[in-house]
């Protein structure tokens, strides 16, 4: 079925004073370093203005090359990267941020995240102090975390001089994480969804298929619209030009309250990725 015509996604979310992020962006996790430049160039060509990468993805240099090739004004493209586990610690984080900027060919990051709490290492607290320094010095416009659980966020709220703008977490209809979302909203920490389609698994649910048929849309568009209407920032990953266009083309869709409720009801605690309470590998997500 061809998707119904829809306006391109142009909404943005205010995540920190003076810092707005396009609500729908491109995630480049697991895109090969040799492939990422043309994918990001295509994304920018079709209208994306938000790209999410990480040191651990080993493709920051390709993202930077795409930004230069596209020739867009720097302020038009929101760029996020993340600190790998093996570079946590105050001094190490400062060096890592400089290395990330060098690989991207940028003078400033829009958003910099601690990729994982890695609680066994016991370093994320001093890492956050380094992040606050980077923010104060203008090296990054906003700072945040990724994969932080409620206990990590509560501890961070007690020690932070600057609260995280974002917690980027695995979130999709079958792993909707209502308790964590509620805490983030209480603390003023924006929700950003990775693996937003359940790595494709949630698209096979009959409820999603039925709503897509009702709207004349694709299952992916329905799920992305569910994220958007919940107010989440969302970063689906694809290397296909057609799907890049499809994913971005959700601005004209609108899910009725009962359709949102039907998708909300798909929650079953189905985590796909690693457990943030224990994950400690330095190189990968």
Q: Which residues are catalytic?
A: 57
Facing residues of 24 across strands? 234
Could you tell me how many residues make up the chain? Answer: 285
CA distance 74 to 114: 23
Given a contact cutoff of 8 angstroms between Cβ atoms, the answer to whether 43 and 26 are in contact is: yes
Given a contact cutoff of 8 angstroms between Cβ atoms, the answer to whether 25 and 53 are in contact is: no
Give the strands of the sheet with 109-114, arranged side by side: 26-27, 50-52, 78-83, 109-114, 140-146, 166-170, 190-194, 233-234
* Nearest of 144, 134, 143, 127 to residue 107 by alpha carbon: 134
CA distance 145 to 170: 13
Write down the residue that tokens 């090739």 correspond to: 69
Pairing between β-strand 12-16 and β-strand 19-22 as defined by DSSP bridges: antiparallel
CA distance 269 to 234: 19
Given a contact cutoff of 8 angstroms between Cβ atoms, the answer to whether 249 and 223 are in contact is: no
| Separation in Å, CA 151 to CA 82, 182, 239, 258 | 21, 13, 35, 33
């Amino acid at each position: 079925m061809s998707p119904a015509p829809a306006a391109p996604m142009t909404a943005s979310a205010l995540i920190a004073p003076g810092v707005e992020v396009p609500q729908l962006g491109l995630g480049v996790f697991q895109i090969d370093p040799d492939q990422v430049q043309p994918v990001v160039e295509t994304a920018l060509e079709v209208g994306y203005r938000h790209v999410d990468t990480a040191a651990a993805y080993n493709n920051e240099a390709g993202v930077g090359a795409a930004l230069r090739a596209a020739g867009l004004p720097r302020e038009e493209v929101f760029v996020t990267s993340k600190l790998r586990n093996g570079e946590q610690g105050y001094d190490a984080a400062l060096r890592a941020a400089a290395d990330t900027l060098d690989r991207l060919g940028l003078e400033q990051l829009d958003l910099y995240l601690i990729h994982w709490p890695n609680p066994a290492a016991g370093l994320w607290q001093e890492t956050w102090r380094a992040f606050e320094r980077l923010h104060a010095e203008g090296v990054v416009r906003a700072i945040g975390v990724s994969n932080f659980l409620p206990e990590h966020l509560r501890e961070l709220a007690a020690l932070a001089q600057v609260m995280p703008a974002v917690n980027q977490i695995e979130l999709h209809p079958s792993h909707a994480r209502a308790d964590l979302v509620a805490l983030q909203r209480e603390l003023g920490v924006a929700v950003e969804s990775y693996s937003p389609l359940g790595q494709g698994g949630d698209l096979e649910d009959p409820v999603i298929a039925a709503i897509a048929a009702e709207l004349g849309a694709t299952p992916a568009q329905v799920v992305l619209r569910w994220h958007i209407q919940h107010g989440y920032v969302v970063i689906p990953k694809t290397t296909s030009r057609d799907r890049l266009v499809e994913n971005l083309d959700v601005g004209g869709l609108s899910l009725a309250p009962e359709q949102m409720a039907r998708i909300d009801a798909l929650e079953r605690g189905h985590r796909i990725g690693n457990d943030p309470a224990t994950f400690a590998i330095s190189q990968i997500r």
